[in-house]
Amino acid sequence: MNKNSSKIAELLRNGSSILIFLILFIVMSICSPNFLKWSSMMNILRQSAVLGILAVGQALVIMAGGIDLSVGAMMALGGCVMAVGQTQWGLPPAVAVILGIALSTLIGLLNGFLTAKVGLFDFIATLGTQTAANGLALIVTGGLPISGLSMGMIVVGGRAMPNGMPYSVFVLVVVLIVGWVLLEKTTFGRNVLAIGGNKEAARVSGINVDVTKILANTLSGLFAGIAAFVLVGRLNSANALMGTNYELNAIASVVIGGTSINGGEGSMVGTLIGLLTIGTLNCGMDLLGFSTAWQKITLGIVIVGVVTMDNFRRKNMAK
């Protein structure tokens, strides 16, 4: 009895996002005969892969009470280094990729250091690194799109496995699982939620607040590097501005998924639902022939709507 009721409460907690997602899904299935097909489903997932990988890192940072505005820029810079490294600097593709991921991770580490040790607000620190990383990417690429990448990257970014599952989706699934295990099964995950919920309480409970925060930001950088790998492969090219707006969509995925923007609570399952909501919206409306403009308007309404519903529900539950 007790177990059941807590399960129901848990489900209700993810309620608004699941509800919106299901409604959206059903509406799309009815409106577009092509929607409910394996290929469309894979298409949604494939198009969500890059955003999803970023959202996992973003979710960790937000749950820890921060925000990461630099995920898109870290990804763009990492991707540019991967592309320029192998086409212009003469690095073996694998080394270029590792270098790109390492650079993103390093910027994540810097974000963590600036917020935890220097004491800057997350918004300011990551706004700064975002801007600087954008500039750095422009220098690396000379402001030009870079193409002519190795086959390996193109395969992972754009092709499918023999069983029909795109490699990029496989990477997304792995990252999601890693994120879920980190959050639900490790002390690090509990510590993230603790410092996001009440930093002082976490400190006096013997949690190393700074290390936890730095680690969350560093992971966000690492995931941005992995996302860069997938994105560059899919585009078969890289340019300095390819990460623009990704940070905001990543925040949207996290928030639609029921994670509190104030930190302290949230889940990876919710983040996945938020991601799929955005993916379904975009792909479904594509199929129905709506322009990007209308997709954006709808997404805006969904973001505000879901969070409003969440607030209402929380108030009602508190009574």
Partner 1 sequence: MGNAILEMHHIKKSFGATQALKDVSFSVYPGEVHMLLGENGAGKSTLMKILAGSLQADSGQIIWEGTEVKIKNPSMAHQLGIGMVYQELALVEQMNVMENILMGNVPTYGNSPMIDWKKASEKSREILNRVGLGNLSAKTRLSDLTLGVRQLIEIAKALSRNAKLLILDEPTSALTNAEVETLFGIIEHLKTEGIGFVFITHKMEEVFRMGNSVTVLRDGDKIGETRKLHEVNEDDLIHDMVGRVITEFYPKEHNTKNGEVLLEVKGLSDEKNFRDVSFKVQKGEVLGVAGLVGSGTTEIMEAIFGLRKFTSGSIVFNGKEYSQSQPNVSLREGMGMLTKSRKSSLLLHMPIYRNVTLSNIRDFVVGKIFRLKKKELDVAEEYRKKLNLHARTITLNAGDLSGGNQQKVVIAKLLCANCKLFIMDDPTRGIDVGAKVEVYNILNELTRNGCGVILISSEMPELIGMSDRIIVAREGRIVGELMEEECTQERIMKKIAGGVNHE
CA dihedral angle for residue 20, residue 25, residue 27, residue 28, rounded to 10 degrees: 140
Tell me the angle at which helices 167-185 and 268-287 cross, rounded to the nearest 10 degrees: 150
Verify binding: residue 277, partner 1, rule CB under 8 A: no
DSSP 150: -
Q: Which is nearer to partner 1, 34 or 205 (CB)?
A: 205
Minimum Å distance from CB 201 to partner 1?
4
Q: Is the Cβ–Cβ distance between 192 and 216 less than 8 Å?
A: yes
Q: Which is nearer to partner 1, 59 or 230 (CB)?
A: 59
Among 239, 253, 260, 282, binds partner 1 (CB under 8 A): 260
Partner residues linked to 237 by β-bridges: 147
Helix (H, G, I), strand (E, B) or coil at 121: coil
Q: Which is nearer to partner 1, 265 or 286 (CB)?
A: 265
Minimum Å distance from CB 227 to partner 1?
24
Q: Which is nearer to partner 1, 198 or 295 (CB)?
A: 198
Q: Which is nearer to partner 1, 2 or 245 (CB)?
A: 2
Minimum Å distance from CB 66 to partner 1?
15
Site for partner 1 in 185-244 (CB under 8 A): 185-191, 193-194, 197-198, 200-207
Verify binding: residue 113, partner 1, rule CB under 8 A: no
Q: Which is nearer to partner 1, 131 or 205 (CB)?
A: 205
Verify binding: residue 4, partner 1, rule CB under 8 A: no
Question: 34-42: which pairs have CB atoms within 8 A and are 24 or more residues apart?
Answer: 34/287, 35/283, 35/284, 35/287, 38/164, 40/283, 40/287, 42/160, 42/164, 42/165, 42/166, 42/169
Minimum Å distance from CB 160 to partner 1?
33
| Integer CA distances (angstroms), 170 to 173, 199, 278, in order | 5, 35, 19
Closest C-alpha to 305, from 280, 277, 272: 277
Minimum Å distance from CB 67 to partner 1?
17
253: amino acid identity, one letter: S
Q: Which is nearer to partner 1, 28 or 183 (CB)?
A: 183
DSSP 166: B
Site for partner 1 in 138-157 (CB under 8 A): none
Q: What residues make contact with partner 1 under the rule CB under 8 A?
A: 2, 6, 185-191, 193-194, 197-198, 200-207, 260, 264-265, 318
